[in-house]
Amino acid sequence: MSGAGPRVICFGEILWDILPAGLFPGGAPLNVAYHLRQLGLTPYLVSAVGCDLLGDELLRRIRGWGMDTDGIARHPARSTGYVRALLGAGGDARYEIATGVAWDEITLGEHTVRQTQQAAALVFGSLALRTPANRAVLACVLAALPEGAWRVFDVNLRPPYDDLGLVRELAAQATLLKMNSAEAARLGVATGDELCARHLAEQTGCPTVCVTAGARGAGLLQAGRWYWEPARPVAVVDTVGAGDAFLAALLASQLAGAAPERALARACRLGAFVAGCAGATPVHPAAMAD
């Protein structure tokens, strides 16, 4: 139940997105893993669900996508997580996130450590680090990674889980830092996407910084050079998971050795496609494979 491409550890929350159109599997690490699998890589999820029907169904869906679930613990005392997404007129979303759920207490088994020791990359976000227990587990995962593996930090500032000091601390351990323009503005002291990215790279020592800007496009600072890809028009259905799809395509291209401008363009195309669909995990059209 794995792809032929590089193994990528995806650490953090997996849950159900409650949208006007229904319930959809979600959580940024799961969304990234789903799109990595669609792109031919081998994602490995590290998370937790409850011993309940919602947990059963979430695991069934993940296995149905051809993904390994050995890194997903079953929590006997906590329920499977969920998020209620409230959509605005333009398809943008704000979120009500359940607390005290299974993914707030992720555990690390021997199988997961072995998978991590063979990984080409780790993707982790800031939301799952709202608990000290998860921060301790992430430190163990980071320590188990091979020295040359990508450490991808996906900033996801959801008040009240938006500790900027913690974000800066973790960014210093990353090799790729990704955030949207509003998050970059909160973290940086400069004005403008490029200046924010350069400030954050200098402040944290992270060599690659990506800033997404919705309908404007996205920028990538890599090896000191700034790349920009303007957005293409899209009829937005909802924006849930569009940034996660973007990150999956960006990372897949980076692992394949693609030029930064090509990686950025591919990421923008996939993010726009997902924004034009309901939910975060639509099937990719054949054109997205390249």
Q: In which band, very low, low, confident or very high, does the pLDDT at 190 lie, cut at 50, 70 and 90?
A: confident
Q: Quick one: residue 40, left, alpha or beta (phi over 0 = left, psi -120 to 50 = alpha)?
A: left
- For the segment 245-286, what is each residue's pLDDT rounded down to a tens digit? 999 999 999 999 999 999 999 999 999 999 999 888 999 987
Q: Is the pLDDT of residue 189 over 80?
A: no
pLDDT at 286: 74
Question: Would you say residue 260 lies in a domain?
Answer: yes
Question: Would you say residue 4 lies in a domain?
Answer: no
- For the segment 67-92, what is each residue's pLDDT rounded down to a tens digit? 999 999 999 999 999 998 777 766 66
Question: Would you say residue 284 lies in a domain?
Answer: no
Question: Would you say residue 164 lies in a domain?
Answer: yes
Distance of alpha carbon 113 from the chain centroid: 20
pLDDT at 257: 97
Question: Would you say residue 72 lies in a domain?
Answer: yes
What is the domain range of residue 67? Answer: 9-279
User: Which CATH number fits the domain that encloses residue 201?
Assistant: 3.40.1190.20
Highest mean pLDDT: which of 146-155, 158-167, 281-290?
A: 146-155
- For the segment 214-235, what is each residue's pLDDT rounded down to a tens digit? 999 999 999 999 999 999 999 9
CB count in 10 Å sphere of residue 191: 8
Question: Would you say residue 290 lies in a domain?
Answer: no
**Tokens 């996801």 found at:** 156
pLDDT at 144: 98
Q: Is the pLDDT of residue 191 over 70?
A: yes
CB count in 10 Å sphere of residue 14: 30
164 neighbors 183 (Cβ within 8 angstroms): no
pTM, two decimals, is 0.94
CB count in 10 Å sphere of residue 10: 30
Domain count, the chain: 1
CB count in 10 Å sphere of residue 160: 7
Q: Is the pLDDT of residue 187 over 80?
A: yes
Nearest to 122 by CA among 11, 242, 280, 253: 11
The CA distance from 95 to 87, in Å, is 9
CA distance to 58, 107, 156, 262, per residue, from 95 (Å): 20, 25, 12, 32
Question: Would you say residue 71 lies in a domain?
Answer: yes
The residue with greater pLDDT, 72 or 288, is: 72
Mean of per-residue pLDDT scores for the chain: 93
Question: Would you say residue 285 lies in a domain?
Answer: no
pLDDT at 2: 43
Q: Is the pLDDT of residue 17 over 80?
A: yes
Cβ burial of 187 (10 Å; 0-12, 13-18, 19+) is: buried
**Mean pLDDT calculated for residue range 200-216:** 96
